Amino acid sequence: MTLIEDYGLDSPARSLLLTVLSIKDNNQKTEMDKLHIQKIIRYYEHLREKKEIDFSNFKLGGVSYELEENRETLMEYELINQTNHYFVLTGEGEDAAKDLRKILGEEEYELLVCAKQLLNDLPADELLYFMYKTIPETQKHSTEFPRLEKKKEQMVKSLFAKRKIDSDTAMKWLGTTKEEFIRLYPKNKLSQESMVALIKGYQESSAEDLAITQDFEQVESELDEKCDA
């Protein structure tokens, strides 16, 4: 019998737990804490628009007791180990994840990779805020959302700077205009090349719109340089 058959790993909760713990995040780490496991799998289901795990909305947003119970079971099976607050696969758990990878659809696997690489390196508050705003229904019964909403400018600026959200999403979450959003960042002079390109691309725009576009592109460019560094 295979590991999948031995441990009943074909259930969505168990297969997703083992698979997500086998994926490396942007820092090349596979380890995850309890909160990130919950939120990343919830976000994965949001991305693929298909629900197989039972989530309920509590004070920390969407939480699945089904995932918790299965994580504990997989630890009893010695497929997952815990070190402090972090969970990692054992050697046998890694073998099981490889078997599961063979039967998981390519598109679904890539969505899970996307979810983990986008969210696993976020601190808890930013992760929670991202999820509350991305899936508004998870705000219901939350005791944390009102606290985080009070510092939304800090949350959104950080998420945008880390390229976790785009500029349109950032402005929507802040409830600001493009002009107001630009003022959140220091204004620097554009390079001559950027200026020429902007004038050529927006020559039919008004002088005011052109100035806004210049500032906005500068913000985007600076953040891209930081991410590429």
Domain boundaries, the chain: 3-151, 178-228
The single residue listed with the structure tokens 């197989």 is: 52
128 pLDDT band (50/70/90 cuts)? Answer: very high
pLDDT of residue 23: 97
Q: Chain-centre distance of CA 90, in angstroms?
A: 25
Q: Which residues pair with 58 in a beta bridge?
A: 61
Rounded Cα–Cα distance for residues 43 and 118 (Å): 10
Contacts of 20 (CB under 8 A, 6+ apart): 32, 37, 40, 41, 44, 112, 115, 116
212 pLDDT band (50/70/90 cuts)? Answer: very low
Mean pLDDT (the chain) is 84
Q: Which two tokens stand for residue 219?
A: 């913000």
Mean pLDDT of 104-121: 95
In this prediction, what percent of the chain has a pLDDT beyond 90?
62
pLDDT of residue 136: 93
List C-alpha distances in Å: 214 to 82, 156, 208.
49, 21, 10
In the predicted structure, residue 227 carries a pLDDT above the cut 50: no
Please name which of 41, 168, 61, 183 lies closest in space to residue 112, comparing C-alpha atoms.
Answer: 41
Mean pLDDT of 93-109: 92
Could you report the per-residue pLDDT of 154-203, keeping only the tens digit for each?
999 999 999 999 999 999 999 998 888 888 776 555 555 554 554 455 44
Q: Which of 49-53, 91-95, 207-211, 221-225 has the lowest mean pLDDT?
A: 207-211
Q: Which two tokens stand for residue 59?
A: 């004070």
19 pLDDT band (50/70/90 cuts)? Answer: very high
Rounded Cα–Cα distance for residues 151 and 162 (Å): 17
Note whether 131 and 171 are within 8 A (CB): no
Rounded Cα–Cα distance for residues 97 and 102 (Å): 9
In this prediction, what percent of the chain has a pLDDT beyond 70?
80
Neighbours of 180 (CB within 10 A): 11
pLDDT of residue 187: 58
The single residue listed with the structure tokens 């999948």 is: 4
